[in-house]
Structure 1
Amino acid sequence: MNILAIGDIVGTVGCEHLRRVLPRLKKERQVDLVIANGENSADRNGISPSSADHIFQSGVDVITTGNHAFRRRDIYERFEEDAFLLRPANYPSSAPGKGICVVDKGYVKVCVLNLSGTVFLESLRCPFETADELLTRTDGAKIVLVDFHAEATAEKKALGYYLDGRVSAVYGTHTHVPTADETILPKGTGFLTDIGMTGPRDSVLGVKAELSIRKMKDKLPVFFEYADGPCIMQGVLMQVDEKSGICRKIERISVS
């Protein structure tokens, strides 16, 4: 089974690029399932009902999110209603939505888990303990994939090894910069520290470079705006054995 995970989609520009390139890539690479992180898909941060609709209608099966999941209150109801729109599972139970879903393809079930890191981010429930609990609720799915939305590379790598042999793949989101460490861990779990972003290529994490420079140089508040120009869609393509759930191949992708 060929599974594509797409890095953080940035604003309207990222959503539009996704729609331009995803259908062709799915056909060319024979992609069976698409997961995308949409926590920055609404302009000015967060995810909105309209940006979620755009992502789903572009050919994405499951949307994951992260620390900006709840920036916009108009998405709260959708988190409750849509089984395939996830928020990190280690938020308190009082938060809208859930962090696990199972996609039944008929011939195979695929479970997707969404977790948030706690190093340099919100003080949430331990992602390691949360993962243990979620793995008791996979509905018999052989293929289990984890979007770990985290800041620290060490935390991402540690969770990968912690879950090695128990899930099909662990990949990181949040930092918007793809790493070059795609690998299959010793017990068969695919891993990549960060899968990148979908948005303006000539930018600082999607934001106009001059605004990011001003913020970091002057230390004063700056209203961020997304950059213009050519876009990229970054992510990871994984080939997973349907019977064993073992990752056979993992490959970074970047589509202009």
Structure 2
Amino acid sequence: MKLMFLGDVMGRAGRRAITENLARLRAEWKLDFVVVNGENATSGVGLSGAHAKTLLEAGADCITLGDHAFDQRDMLQFIEQEPRVIRPLNFSKTAPGKGARLFTSKNGRKVLVTQVLGQVFMKRPFDDPFSALEPVLKMHPLGGQAAAVIVDVHCEATSEKMAMGHFADGRASLVVGTHTHVPTADAMILSGGTGYLTDAGMCGDYNSVIGMDKAEPLRRFITGMPRDRFSPANGEATLSGVYVETDDRTGKATRIAAIRDGGLLEPGAP
């Protein structure tokens, strides 16, 4: 199978990049299944139902969220109506929606998508992501009903993401980190056959401070005093993420490549 995962969509610039380019990427890479992290697609904090529809209509097969999953209040109801939106497994035992789901890809094969939140350096305590993920991986063994398994690890610490990659090695097709908005250069296939990338980066304007217009973050760093609210940068966005090919029999990764499309991070961009 040919899979693509795109990192945190950041505000209007990120949404625009998805709507203008995802259909082209699906055709160029001959993709069977696409996951998009929509964590910051609405004003940089959370995802509204309307913007979720925009990403799905643009070609996303599944949207994952994160620690801002329900910052847009209408997502509390929307996620119950739209099974293609996945919230973190360990967000809360009472949270609406599902943290894992089997989807049918364009070629008819099943793809399991799941997400966990990390604990290290996060603003609020979440349940243990490792124990939350374990029963999901046991229930959907790779190469069985699930032809591919994608795990989104939404957390701050690179060490925690790496640990999760090794924890799921051989049991997932791809383990990919989100949340920091900074793409890493360590795309690899682990010893057990799992594709891994510490952070997919963001789909947003990189002429920014992690997707936010530079002025206010710089003022706060320099003076220690806030003056205005943060607002997403709205210049040309780069689509950042990862591409994985899997073995049809085992579901394990056979190829992995970082994706940088458009904007400042595209190879060869001025």
TM-score range, shorter chain: over 0.9
Question: CA offset at residue 228 of structure 1?
Answer: 2.7
Q: Does 1:244 align with 2:250?
A: yes
Q: What is the TM-score when the length of structure 2 is the normalising length?
A: 0.92
User: Do 1:156 and 1:172's aligned partners in 2 also have CA atoms closer than 8 Å?
Assistant: yes
Question: CA offset at residue 201 of structure 1?
Answer: 2.5
User: Do 1:92 and 1:124's aligned partners in 2 also have CA atoms closer than 8 Å?
Assistant: yes
Gaps of 5+ in 2: 263-270
Residue correspondences, number: 256
Aligned residue in 2 for 1:104: 104
Question: Which residue identity is paired with 2:136?
Answer: L
Q: Does 1:226 align with 2:232?
A: yes
Alpha-carbon displacement from aligned partner over 1:78-102 (angstroms, at most 9, x marks no partner): 1122211011001222011111011
Question: Which residue identity is paired with 2:223?
Answer: D
Aligned residue in 2 for 1:70: 70
Q: What is the TM-score when the length of structure 1 is the normalising length?
A: 0.96
Gaps of 5+ in 1: none
Question: Which residue identity is paired with 2:249?
Answer: K
Alpha-carbon displacement from aligned partner over 1:222-249 (angstroms, at most 9, x marks no partner): 4011113221111000001122011001
Q: Does 1:171 align with 2:176?
A: yes
After TM superposition, list the pairs within 5 Å mapping 1:117-132 onto structure 2.
117-121=118-122, 122-132=124-134
> For the structure 1 residues 44 and 233, does the alpha-carbon distance in structure 2 shift closer, same or farther, using more than 3 Å as the test?
closer
User: Do 2:12 and 2:41's aligned partners in 1 also have CA atoms closer than 8 Å?
Assistant: yes
Partner Cα separation in structure 1 for residue 164 and residue 219 of structure 2: 35
Question: CA offset at residue 44 of structure 1?
Answer: 4.4
Aligned residue in 1 for 2:218: 213
Alpha-carbon displacement from aligned partner over 1:92-135 (angstroms, at most 9, x marks no partner): 22011111011123642110011111111131111111110212
Aligned residue in 2 for 1:203: 208
After TM superposition, list the pairs within 5 Å mapping 1:1-256 onto structure 2.
1-105=1-105, 107-121=108-122, 122-138=124-140, 140-221=145-226, 222-256=228-262
User: Do 1:169 and 1:247's aligned partners in 2 also have CA atoms closer than 8 Å?
Assistant: yes
User: Do 2:12 and 2:43's aligned partners in 1 also have CA atoms closer than 8 Å?
Assistant: yes
SS in structure 2 of the partner of residue 115 of structure 1: strand
Question: Which residue identity is paired with 2:214?
Answer: A
Alpha-carbon displacement from aligned partner over 1:127-166 (angstroms, at most 9, x marks no partner): 1111102123438313111000010000000010111111
User: Do 1:39 and 1:68's aligned partners in 2 also have CA atoms closer than 8 Å?
Assistant: yes
> For the structure 1 residues 10 and 189, does the alpha-carbon distance in structure 2 shift closer, same or farther, using more than 3 Å as the test?
same
SS in structure 1 of the partner of residue 152 of structure 2: strand
| Identity %, equivalent residues | 38
Partner Cα separation in structure 1 for residue 239 and residue 145 of structure 2: 32
Partner Cα separation in structure 2 for residue 107 and residue 243 of structure 1: 14
Question: CA offset at residue 12 of structure 1?
Answer: 1.6
Partner Cα separation in structure 2 for residue 39 and residue 103 of structure 1: 20
Question: CA offset at residue 43 of structure 1?
Answer: 1.3
User: Do 1:151 and 1:175's aligned partners in 2 also have CA atoms closer than 8 Å?
Assistant: yes
Partner Cα separation in structure 2 for residue 196 and residue 97 of structure 1: 25
User: Do 2:10 and 2:44's aligned partners in 1 also have CA atoms closer than 8 Å?
Assistant: no
Question: Which residue identity is paired with 1:32?
Answer: D
Judge which range, 187-196 or 38-47, deviates more. 38-47
